[in-house]
Amino acid sequence: MVELIPKKEQKPIFGQIFFLIVSLCALLAVAIAFFVFRQLVENEREVLGVLEKRFLEDTRPLEEELAMQLQSARKKTEILGTVLDERKNALVFFRLLEQTTHPGVVFQKLEGNVKTGIFVLGGEAQDFVVLEQQRLVWEAQEGFSAILRDIQLSDEGKSSFEVEFVVKPEVLDSI
């Protein structure tokens, strides 16, 4: 019998099965890679969260310590400014003292307050005559008043004393 419709020649099935297997393997590899990468992303997000939490927790004490150091530095700067202002005001007193002190008088102790203008100095004069000359010089000054106290004579003839200076505010302000 003669066939009116010719049948196509069947190709070997091996090619179709091979590509089907390769396609299934590729699909399986992509699916496995998707799940593996998804798990890796989740793990990295957890690690990132832990690191961010640790960073926030770890830097807080450091920030607090640095803030305390900054406050301490500010306080020290303010104190230094105050001391420098007082020193600047005290320079006038020392200038007056330098100009009015007898060469035979030596001071050994100084206590004072620039704000009140009261200074107490302890010293020693060569002898009683030098101390009297010093008292007269201080008495003649207009910028401050000097009050001698606790005058003592030593065996060597030296006179130890304590003097209280009250410096007028306008003198301290005249810088």
DSSP string, 132-158: HHHHHHHHH-SSEEEEEEEEEE-TTS-
* Domain residue ranges in the chain: 86-172
**Residue 35 clears pLDDT 90, i.e. is over it:** yes
Is the CATH number of domain 86-172 3.30.1360.100? yes
50-85 confidence digits (pLDDT tens) = 988 887 777 677 788 889 999 999 999 888 887 776
Residue 175's SS3 state is coil
Confidence at 171, pLDDT banded by 50, 70, 90 = low
Round to whole Å and give the CA distance between 102 and 138.
Answer: 10
Residue 175: its pLDDT value, please? 44
Mean pLDDT of 87-109: 79
Mean pLDDT of 95-104: 83
Residue 36: its pLDDT value, please? 95
pTM attached to this predicted model: 0.47
Residue that wins the pLDDT comparison between 85 and 119: 119
